[in-house]
Amino acid sequence: MSRAHARSVTSAAAEAPPAASTALDPAAPVEVDLSVEVCGIRFANPVLPAAGPPVRDGEAILECAAGGAGGLVAKTISRHAAEVPTPNMAEIAHGFLNTELWSELAPEQWLERELPLARTGGLPLIVSLGYSAEDIAWLAPRVLPFADALELSTHYIGEDPAPMIDAIRAAKDAVDIPVFVKLSPLGREMSRAAEHAARAGADAIVAINSFGPCLGIDIETGRPRMGSGDGYGWLSGPALKPLAVRCVYDVARAVDLPVIGCGGVSRGTDVIEMAMAGASAVQVCTAAILRGRGVFGKLARETSTWLAAHGYTRLDEVRGMAQQAPVPDHVTGSPIVDVDLCNGCALCEGSCVYDAIHVVGGKAELDEERCEKCGLCLTRCRPGALMWAPTASAPA
């Protein structure tokens, strides 16, 4: 391979179209306002807990507030306390399995102790409820004194939209605060589910709940990792994020309602990606389980840092960006290499199944004749030295 086949970013810079936003001069930093508004509720930042173990009671909810959450969510309350099987949580490669249910605390305990305690956190409180219309009709008016909004879980009501619709109507009949609906990716067409929810009166959509059922096996014992009757669990964590982002993207296109993204958010860049798909805020559960409740503030800070570095002052400025961006068409030009950024790590070389890229003299060189433009090398390049050639059909 000759160096004539290697393209550098410098030679193509004159062709590049102007960027939508550029990194800022450090001498002139941008002040970022992380606050977001959903259904008239102002959150200090877009990173909220999701209904789950990190918000299992009032004290845990207050720890989320102390950890930097922009708002609060209570674990799903139903008419009766859940009998949660054990074991019910396991970290797996790139993800997490759980067979957690709704709250293991009785609704009376939530009403008498946990919700009043959670209100002392000084942040908006979303109270998650489940599952049937009868459950919601009984619970909604009782939690109303403590809630800024309700979130209705659809996790156990199956594919038929009728129970969800009935539950939404029961909530809307009982309260005058916003009603969010949390959708589960149980095979249903997410856009249609969101449309049903919107027509029934939902004020916002939360997408998505965990995915499953899934199965993890402990190879030392040969037994399933979960203690449920069949050993199945539900998938969350980073492995879920691409599905969650797709669902947020579809829902945001389908209905004119705010969307809260949930599923695999573990870094500030995940918050940005969810926002670009159409989310107004995000919810986090697995990362808070594995890394502690300080993760909420960490993700908020990482989000602020990214926005400032790219010239934005609010998350709303990138919200829905992917909705307007053209889907990449067939790429005609090969990637280019910024030799100043390339550190010669050879990750690109090791994973190129077309043998089109090699590190020579400590820098990556690309053979355009062998390159099939699959794009893998761009996603593997840690320093960002590989990028698409700036042509009209190249991905943004």
- In a domain, residue 161? The reply is yes
CA distance 55 to 196: 29
Residue 1 is predicted with a pLDDT of: 35
CATH number of the domain within which 365 lies: 3.30.70.20
Q: Total domain count for the chain?
A: 2
- In a domain, residue 25? The reply is no
- Point out the residues of the chain with pLDDT beneath 50: 1-27, 392-396
- In a domain, residue 341? The reply is yes
Residues 6+ apart with CB under 8 A from 296: 47, 48, 49, 64, 67, 68, 69, 70, 284, 288
Per the structure, the complete domain to which residue 367 belongs is given by 3-20+328-388
- Burial degree of 299 (CB within 10 A; 0-12, 13-18, 19+): buried
CATH number of the domain within which 219 lies: 3.20.20.70
Residue 186 is predicted with a pLDDT of: 64
- In a domain, residue 393? The reply is no
- In a domain, residue 377? The reply is yes
Domain stops at, among 324, 344, 363: 324
- In a domain, residue 29? The reply is no
- Residue found by looking up tokens 């619970």 in the block: 139
CA distance 374 to 292: 38
Which of these, 35, 37, 34, lies nearest to 260 by C-alpha position?
Answer: 37
At residue 223, what are phi and psi to the nearest 5 degrees? Answer: -105, 150
Tell whether the torsion through CA atoms of 349, 240, 211 and 275 is positive or negative: negative
3-state secondary structure of 82: coil
In this structure, the answer to whether residues 11 and 117 fall within a common structural domain is: no
Residue 305 is predicted with a pLDDT of: 97
In this structure, the answer to whether residues 244 and 349 fall within a common structural domain is: no
In this structure, the answer to whether residues 142 and 236 fall within a common structural domain is: yes
Which of these, 69, 218, 78, lies nearest to 155 by C-alpha position?
Answer: 78
User: In this structure, are residues 137 and 113 in contact, taking their beta carbons and an 8 Å threshold?
Assistant: no
In this structure, the answer to whether residues 63 and 103 fall within a common structural domain is: yes
In this structure, the answer to whether residues 150 and 255 fall within a common structural domain is: yes
In this structure, the answer to whether residues 13 and 81 fall within a common structural domain is: no
Domain stops at, among 324, 341, 362: 324
In this structure, the answer to whether residues 269 and 380 fall within a common structural domain is: no
CA distance 126 to 22: 36
Domain stops at, among 301, 324, 347: 324
In this structure, the answer to whether residues 338 and 200 fall within a common structural domain is: no
In this structure, the answer to whether residues 138 and 121 fall within a common structural domain is: yes
In this structure, the answer to whether residues 105 and 216 fall within a common structural domain is: yes
In this structure, the answer to whether residues 62 and 81 fall within a common structural domain is: yes
- In a domain, residue 26? The reply is no
Residue 220 is predicted with a pLDDT of: 95
Q: Which amino acid is at 229?
A: G
In this structure, the answer to whether residues 242 and 264 fall within a common structural domain is: yes
Give the predicted TM-score (pTM) of the model. 0.88
Q: What is the pLDDT of residues 250-264, one digit of tens each?
A: 999 999 999 999 999
Which of these, 130, 132, 63, lies nearest to 100 by C-alpha position?
Answer: 130
- In a domain, residue 28? The reply is no
